[in-house]
Structure 1
Amino acid sequence: MWVFRGLSGPRAPAQLQQGLLAAWCRCCRASSSYSASAQPSRVRALVYGNHGDPAKVVQLKNLELAAVGGSDVRVRMLAAPINPSDINMIQGNYGLLPKLPAVGGNEGVGEVIEVGSSVTGLKPGDWVIPANAGLGDSVIQNASNSGVGQAVIQIAAALGLRTINVVRDRPDIQKLTDRLKNLGAEHVVTEEELRLPETKNIFQDMPQPRLALNCVGGKSSTELLRHLAPGGTMVTYGGMAKQPVIASVSLLIFKDLKLRGFWLSQWKKKHSPDEFKELIFTLCELIRQGQLTAPSCSEIPLQDYQQALEASMKPFVSSKQILTM
């Protein structure tokens, strides 16, 4: 990240090391990483909107800095090198390219000046360095048009995470794609497209996902696993296909993939009411900020419950049926 003086990386999970502290700063996306400013709400950054000659495509711009809260960490960058790999990224001939527009650079050292309420491993005054290349994490999920899927898209966008969203093919696929992208989806692909060799081109400008969210099972879940990064985790919270999750031995051994389940009722049993309340408050704050909206819904009078039940069981229904009383 190339900086002068100021603030950078408002969304940085705290990961510490002895001596010089390491923080996992996402520093190449203009939406989640910044550099340089004397004012808390505005920063200066070296941004490029297209690939080419660095001296011509890189521009010094002012960007708005999001307020710090939750797990956010605000860092004042002190110094950052210009590496050959940074130049190659700007030119567009590096092995992994950030989504444009992007902030140049991947390395540097900074000082923590503010942390969110849930951050315990970092404090103002700590020095940090990016632990990973700053291209941002990504998440892959199926049933992306469901209520949960739409929420995941929006929450991920609010956290600076990029999403690959899998849906079933349908007559109005372009309409659905546009709607999900308006919510913040990076990529929308059908189940059939996910199986094509060309799908790997998605990862030319974004890292392979380390998290997969599965609520379908069967072949769909197998494809999610195939695209996970080594050491990644797939969390299964549903099984709409009513088929088992099948993971090949090679994926488990050579990619060290992990399979986990999630059941909200069980989660609430293992966590305190205050922790659940904090979760709800976090979602409410996203709603207040306009970063999370309810899924499309149809309000049905209680006496017409049969109509609502029938609609809920139809294929390709993206509207949530709400009984009003």
Structure 2
Amino acid sequence: MNGNGGLRSFSKIMSPQSKAIVYERHGSPDSVTRVVMLPPVEVRENDVCVKMIAAPINPADINQIEGVYPVRPPLPAVGGQEGVGEVYAVGSRVKSLSPGDFVIPSPILSSEKLGTWQTYVVKEEGVWQKIDKMCPIEYAATIAVNPLTALRMLEDFVLLNSGDSVVQNGATSTVGQCIIQLARLRGISSINIIRDRAGSDEAKEKLKALGANKVFLESQLNVKNVKSLLGNLPEPSLGFNCIGGNAASLVLKNLREGGTMVTYGAMSKKPINVSTTSFVFKDLSLRGFWLQRWTSLDKAKECTKMIDYLIGLVRDGTLKYETELIPFEDFSAALDKALGKRGSHPKQVLRF
């Protein structure tokens, strides 16, 4: 009631119309996605409406559209699970965020229904994490998946000390680039394996500029005595595999006795073959890492601190990786690059 005995009136807050990339069935992303206009959505009392600034095309996004990812949103769905945006409007009960704040979807609380490939997203306050506005948008949009994966894998499986070393395939990937730099910060050397392909010499130099200690082509490791190639570096106790097939075998080949290989991807879609010798005489361990499983383990405060830490490294120039900003209108071209149709490219980030 108001002072005159009348009823108070409340007007609904509505989001603007949103342009979105949607898919109504699973399949190849270049054939099942399309651009649509979504109607305005009510911003309820605990909701935050975010105007998206940038969002990447991650392998997991592609796998979700293909229908092969473990978590699949109900169809029809908007693509994308990561990105950065500016708060456009907030509901009456929202306390932690205000219009103008920069936010990212929290890796802890964002759901499989998020959909960051659209111009406006309305979700509950708890889905969003406020970040430093001074972080470059291409990093803000990509900080919560690949860099966080690299950080956790370095810390969760083997106790590493300064002077130790790690080995990885897929070293030119965003996770690979982050592992090189985060390891170097800890005084840990990195042995990196890349594919034999055009431009491999340039790729080697880029990785060395990031701090890679050794970079080998896969063909260079097809020798019996891999240890002789390491020079003064110790045999690694920890390895990372995101490819599978022969590339995974090369990681195992480099590990010392009792070493551990962590698999976090399968880009080749080929299985990991492990010799009996590796198990019996080297006592190797095989582990898996999935960021979504880790973030489900009540890690909210820890996760927030780690993202702030990683953004700090970006701001002071300690952590860097290649991205390519593409206008949202050029989604098809960005998708082709992300699918590998146009050769090898940096991570594609859509700019709204």
**Smaller-chain TM-score bracket:** 0.5 to 0.7
Counting only pairs closer than 5 Å after superposition, residues 1-325 of structure 1 correspond to structure 2 as 136-197=163-224, 199-293=226-320, 295-314=321-340, 316-325=343-352
How far off its partner does 1:176 sit?
A: 1.0
Q: SS of the counterpart of 2:240?
A: strand
Per-residue CA distance 1:218-240 (angstroms, 9 max, x = gap): 11101111110111110000000
How far off its partner does 1:141 sit?
A: 0.4
Q: SS of the counterpart of 1:292?
A: coil
> 1:26 maps to which residue?
none
* Matched AA of 1:301: P
Is residue 135–residue 207 contact of structure 1 (8 Å, CA) maintained in 2? no
Percent of residue pairs identical: 39
Is residue 257–residue 283 contact of structure 2 (8 Å, CA) maintained in 1? yes
> For residues 288 and 303 of structure 1, do their structure 2 counterparts lie closer, same or farther at Cα, with a shift above 3 Å needed?
closer
Structure 2: distance between partners of 1:285 and 1:170: 34
> For residues 300 and 214 of structure 1, do their structure 2 counterparts lie closer, same or farther at Cα, with a shift above 3 Å needed?
same
Structure 2: distance between partners of 1:272 and 1:173: 38
Does 1 or 2 have the higher relative contact order (CA < 8 Å, sep 6+)?
Answer: 2
How far off its partner does 1:245 sit?
A: 1.1
Structure 1: distance between partners of 2:218 and 2:339: 20
Structure 2: distance between partners of 1:286 and 1:135: 19
* Matched AA of 1:250: T
TM-score by length of 1: 0.56
How many residues are matched?
192
Q: SS of the counterpart of 1:204?
A: coil
Is residue 337–residue 345 contact of structure 2 (8 Å, CA) maintained in 1? no
Per-residue CA distance 1:62-102 (angstroms, 9 max, x = gap): xxxxxxxxxxxxxxxxxxxxxxxxxxxxxxxxxxxxxxxxx
Is residue 338–residue 345 contact of structure 2 (8 Å, CA) maintained in 1? no
Deviates more, 1:207-216 or 1:307-316: 307-316
Deviates more, 1:223-232 or 1:274-283: 274-283
* Matched AA of 2:241: N
Is residue 162–residue 186 contact of structure 2 (8 Å, CA) maintained in 1? no
Is residue 166–residue 189 contact of structure 1 (8 Å, CA) maintained in 2? yes
Structure 1: distance between partners of 2:209 and 2:232: 20
Find the structure with the greater CA-based Rg: 2
Structure 2: distance between partners of 1:265 and 1:177: 31
Q: SS of the counterpart of 1:287?
A: helix
Structure 1: distance between partners of 2:225 and 2:166: 19
Structure 2: distance between partners of 1:271 and 1:317: 37
How far off its partner does 1:278 sit?
A: 2.4
Q: SS of the counterpart of 1:185?
A: coil
How far off its partner does 1:207 sit?
A: 0.5
Structure 2: distance between partners of 1:207 and 1:182: 21
How far off its partner does 1:135 sit?
A: 7.6
Q: SS of the counterpart of 2:230?
A: helix
Structure 2: distance between partners of 1:305 and 1:135: 43
Is residue 145–residue 318 contact of structure 1 (8 Å, CA) maintained in 2? no
Deviates more, 1:311-320 or 1:214-223: 311-320
Structure 1: distance between partners of 2:298 and 2:188: 25
Is residue 143–residue 149 contact of structure 1 (8 Å, CA) maintained in 2? yes
Per-residue CA distance 1:112-148 (angstroms, 9 max, x = gap): xxxxxxxxxxxxxxxxxxxx9x981111000100111
Tell me, which stretches of 5 or more residues in structure 2 are unaligned?
A: 1-159
> 1:17 maps to which residue?
none
Q: SS of the counterpart of 1:298?
A: strand
Per-residue CA distance 1:133-188 (angstroms, 9 max, x = gap): x9811110001001111111111111111011111112211111111100000111
CA RMSD of aligned residues (A): 1.9
> For residues 155 and 236 of structure 1, do their structure 2 counterparts lie closer, same or farther at Cα, with a shift above 3 Å needed?
same
Q: SS of the counterpart of 1:151?
A: helix
Structure 1: distance between partners of 2:299 and 2:232: 40
Per-residue CA distance 1:261-291 (angstroms, 9 max, x = gap): 0000000001420111222233233224422
Is residue 142–residue 216 contact of structure 1 (8 Å, CA) maintained in 2? yes
